[in-house]
Amino acid sequence: MTTLIKNGILITAYNEHKGDVLIDGEKIVSIEAESKALADVIIDASGKYVMPGGVDPHTHFSALCNVGNQDTAGYETTDAVVVGGTTTIVDYAPQDIGKGLLDSIKYRINVRAKDSCVDYALHAMITDVMDSIFDEIQELPRIGVTSIKCFMAYNGSPLHVDDGTLYKVLQKSKEYGITVFVHAENGEIIHTLQQDCVKMGDLHPRYHAVSRPAFVETEATRRAIYLAQIADTPIYIVHVTCKGAADAIKEAKCRGQKVMGETCTQYLTLDRSYLEQKDIREAAKYICSPALRDLKEVDALWDALNERTLNAVVSDHCGIGMNIKQYGLDNFTNIANGAPGAADRINMLWTEGVTKGRISKQTFVQIISTNPAKINGIYPQKGHIDIGSDADIMILDPSYKGTVRLADNPNGVDYNLYEGKELNGRVDTVLLRGKVVVEKAKFIGEFGQGRFVHSNSFGAAYHGLDDIK
């Protein structure tokens, strides 16, 4: 089947021009200013922007929460992600209890992700440090996984990885072209500060931010970067939230170290006041780690994106409904960390970033699609509109005016962090490998349409992010 997207303005990470995109089957086969091609399906994109489908490289579907024994919402909720303009996620594949890295990944592909609506690559993720995982690391590229996540935070939970393990993972990963991703927060200091809060009876969710100050993130970021420098291997810092951590990345980049970093929609568009709401149930929704910050840190993150210190904006999506959050309402240390957001990442970033003049349209495409595809070794199959790339395309209507409403795009949990926020522009059509799966901002695809995508080794270090100016 052939499809022609006509009359739209094509925006890529590199440029912007009028362009008609012809698709044959799953691939883009031509791009012309005015195509005369005949096609089975014609999509008129007049007055709209045609961009590569989003790549969200930080999601947690069907994954154990950091407290309790409940899982986040599963892949059957990824229809909302596609409606939000994202066509590929790179989801974390935590070790299942008693299983190794490889078995957990295979189980995810064969069982957990069978309903996925979105294409997905995977990051390996250590949650049970046993000797065998160091031998498994070398096998990861063979099964299409070229990144591994370590949590420096969450002491006391199986997610935590100590410095010795992190260093060993960095050394092993280097040998096999695997990029190490770290959640950089000093878990020991957080634990101490949490205990102090509990002793004082300071149990409201606002103390989540008090017990996770920015310096614990800055310190761990500097430590992780230093260990990667000693191991002489690339490192990627997930969910950066403060100037201190961004400065550490910037300094490392300036001295030539291969360091990459991301921030999340929530750290760019929300602030600490959401945790300070009197209503504990409301405040609990905003417990994610690192914690939401003051406005001066929010501004610093936008600057870090513009100066290319940070390379991507991700959702860190965790489908944790109030049924799970409620277990910790009497003590913030027992509230599961994480918040939903994969469905809102692109629309929120368009309104808050592009329409408010904080980032250019090219930067927008870079940070929500092209850079994540490069970093994760799936570019140019994903993250670009070009001949030979997968026909993963989102069409955004810049004239749309409305507000975020959970009812418009149910995300699998019973709230939306951005409820009521203004939207100026919205994704209205999405194609996944040539097939229209979202029309008029409604999902019309099939559950199970998503496919596993193989990643290549040392994504960014191999492809180089420097060619994007």
Q: How far is the CB of 239 from ligand URP (least distance, A)?
A: 6
State the nearest-atom distance from the C-beta of 133 to Zn ion, in Å.
19
Q: Give the x/- contact pattern for ligand URP in 271-300, rule: CB under 6 A.
A: -----------------xx-----------
Phi, psi (5° rounding) for residue 419? -45, 130
CB of 289 to ligand URP, least distance (A): 4
Name the nearest CA neighbour of 217 among 186, 191, 179, 195: 186
Find the shortest distance in angstroms from Cβ 250 to Zn ion.
Answer: 21
Determine, following the binding rule CB under 6 A, whether residue 60 of this chain makes contact with ligand URP: yes
Cα 450 to chain centroid distance, Å, stands at 17
Q: Supply 50's token pair.
A: 């045609």
The Cα-based distances of 138 to 135, 147, 359, 462 in angstroms read 6, 11, 39, 18
Amino acid occupying residue 42: I
337/381 with CB nearer ligand URP:
337
The most distant pair of C-alpha atoms in the chain lies apart, rounded to whole Å, by 72
Question: What kind and span of H or E run contains 163?
Answer: helix 163-175
The smaller minimum CB distance to Zn ion, of residues 217 and 316, is found at 316
| Smallest distance, Zn ion to C-beta of residue 181, A | 9
Nearer to ligand URP, 183 or 361 (CB): 183
* 214-231 helix and 187-200 helix, angle to the nearest 10 degrees: 160
Tokens of 356: 């408010």
Least gap, CB of 442 to ligand URP (angstroms): 29
Binding flag, residue 243, Zn ion (CB under 5 A): no
123 binds Zn ion (CB under 5 A): no
Using the minimum distance from each CB to ligand URP, give the nearer residue, 29 or 67.
Answer: 67
70-86 in b/e form (b: 16+ CB < 10 A) is: ebbbbbbbbbbbbbbbb
**How far is 51 from 104, CA to CA, in rounded Å?**
34
Residue 316 interacting with Zn ion (CB under 5 A): yes
Angle at 283 between CA 282 and CA 289, to 5 degrees: 130
Bridge partners (DSSP) listed for residue 426: 397
Q: Which two tokens stand for residue 34?
A: 């005015």
**Contact between 183 and Zn ion (CB under 5 A)?**
yes
345 makes contact, choosing from Zn ion, ligand URP, none, with CB < 5 to 8 Å by partner type, with none
The yes or no reply on residue 316 touching ligand URP (CB under 6 A) is yes
Q: Residues 6 or more apart from 8 whose CB is under 8 A from it?
A: 18, 19, 20, 21, 45, 46, 48, 49, 50, 395
Nearer to ligand URP, 249 or 318 (CB): 318
For ligand URP (CB under 6 A), the number of binding residues is 8
User: Does 317 engage in binding with ligand URP (CB under 6 A)?
Assistant: no
How many chain residues interact with Zn ion (CB under 5 A)? 2
Phi and psi of 148, rounded to 5°? -140, 135
**112 lines the binding site for Zn ion (CB under 5 A):** no
Q: How far is the CB of 60 from ligand URP (least distance, A)?
A: 5
Binding ligand URP by CB under 6 A: which of 337, 363, 369, 429? 337
Give the tokens for residue 46.
């007049």
One character per residue 183-202, x = contact with ligand URP (rule: CB under 6 A): x-------------------
**Residue 234: HSE in the Cβ half-sphere, 13 Å Cα cutoff:** 23
Instruction: Output the smallest distance, CB 63 to Zn ion, in A.
Output: 9
Least Å distance between CB 98 and Zn ion? Answer: 23
Interaction partner, residue 288 (Zn ion, ligand URP, none; CB < 5-8 Å by kind): ligand URP
Judged by CB, which is closer to ligand URP: 87, or 289?
289
- Shortest Å, Cβ 50 to Zn ion: 30
Residue 37 CB, shortest distance to Zn ion, in Å, is: 43
Helix, strand, coil shares, percent, the chain, to 5: 35, 25, 40
Rounded-to-integer distance, Cα 55 and Cα 74, Å: 18
Q: Return the one option of ligand URP, Zn ion, none that residue 185 interacts with (CB less than 5 to 8 A, by type).
A: none
CB closer to ligand URP, 244 vs 338? 338
Structure tokens at 335: 């509230």
Pairing of the two strands 86-94 and 2-6: unpaired
Asked if 56 interacts with Zn ion (CB under 5 A), we say: no
449 binds, among ligand URP, Zn ion, none (CB under 5 to 8 A by kind): none
* Dihedral angle, C-alpha 163, 250, 307, 375, nearest 10 °: -40
Closest CA to 61 of 412, 328, 346: 412
- What is the rounded distance in angstroms from the CA atom of residue 184 to the CA atom of residue 220? 5
Would you tell me which residues interact with ligand URP (CB under 6 A)?
60, 183, 288-289, 316, 318, 337-338
